Amino acid sequence: MPIDQAHPDDVKAFDSLFWKHPEAQRLLKNIENYQRTNKYVQCMQEKQKLDKLRRKSFEVFIRDYEVTVKTIDLKDVEMPDEQREKLNTLYITIYMACDIIESGVLDINDNLKKISKSLEVVQFDELKNMAKQVKEKLNFLDRTDGYMKLNAWGTTCDNMYGLMQNKARSLVRKKIQEDNKQK
């Protein structure tokens, strides 16, 4: 994962280690010296080396971190059955919300393309990026559990998406009615 796509907390944890590293310190001192002596070309070259080192080091940092992370199966943790069911319900709720978000982003883009190929809604750019993460989460669920293989998964998520659209439509209509009353 590139550093510019990483979660800010991950970058912060990485940076706290990276900037203490002797090679990073050496490059920073070189940059300062080149700036002080007005050697801007050399300064830019050192900045590029530092940036390249930081990016490569971050990829290694994330790779090492992912290796140490262990996925725990709730079946392996001792807890009351009611608590296990509650946690499973919460997990599946979040995955269903991910599925619904992905559907919403795709539907927005599809509808915009029908109007004009050049139209773009900027306010949902973050959701476009999130849609990639959502796909990763759904792929993980598909690999690890059997929920997405159930025929009911798609139908249930589609029904929830339709219900949310109906609720949103109702809010839009109420807002229009309020705006008309104020005129």
Tokens of 62: 């994330």
Same structural domain for residues 158 and 83?
yes
Total domains in the fold of the chain: 2
Summarize the confidence of residues 50-62 as an average pLDDT.
Answer: 90
What is the per-residue burial (b if ≥16 Cβ within 10 Å, else e) of 26-65? ebeebbeebeeeeeeeebeebbeebeeebeebbeebbeee
Whether 8 is covered by a domain: the verdict is: yes
Whether 99 is covered by a domain: the verdict is: yes
In the chain, count of helices (H) and strands (E)?
A: 6, 0
Highest mean pLDDT, choosing among 87-96, 104-113, 170-179: 170-179
Same structural domain for residues 95 and 162?
yes
Q: Where are the alpha helices (DSSP H) in 116-150?
A: 125-144
Whether 64 is covered by a domain: the verdict is: yes
Q: Are 160 and 96 in contact (CB under 8 A)?
A: yes
Highest mean pLDDT, choosing among 10-24, 25-39, 85-99, 126-140: 25-39
User: Which amino acid appears at position 105 of this protein?
Assistant: V
Predicted TM-score (pTM) of this structure: 0.50
Q: Are 161 and 104 in contact (CB under 8 A)?
A: yes
Same structural domain for residues 81 and 63?
no
Distance CA 46, CA 24 (A): 10
Q: How many CB atoms lie within 10 A of CB 11?
A: 17
Same structural domain for residues 164 and 96?
yes
Which residues span the domain enclosing 147?
Answer: 75-178
Whether 85 is covered by a domain: the verdict is: yes
The last residue of one of the domains, among 48, 68, 88, is: 68
Whether 90 is covered by a domain: the verdict is: yes
Same structural domain for residues 89 and 117?
yes
Summarize the confidence of residues 119-134 as an average pLDDT.
Answer: 68
Structure confidence at residue 32 as a pLDDT band (50, 70, 90): very high
pLDDT for the residue numbered 110: 85
Whether 24 is covered by a domain: the verdict is: yes
Whether 183 is covered by a domain: the verdict is: no
Distance CA 95, CA 17 (A): 33
Distance CA 78, CA 157 (A): 30
Supply the mean pLDDT for the chain: 83
Place of tokens 């944890």: 13
Distance CA 40, CA 43 (A): 5
Q: Are 98 and 161 in contact (CB under 8 A)?
A: no
Q: How many CB atoms lie within 10 A of CB 178?
A: 9
Summarize the confidence of residues 10-24 as an average pLDDT.
Answer: 88
The last residue of one of the domains, among 68, 99, 114, is: 68
Residue bearing the bigger pLDDT, 64 or 38: 38
Highest mean pLDDT, choosing among 47-56, 106-115, 116-125, 138-147: 47-56
pLDDT for the residue numbered 9: 81
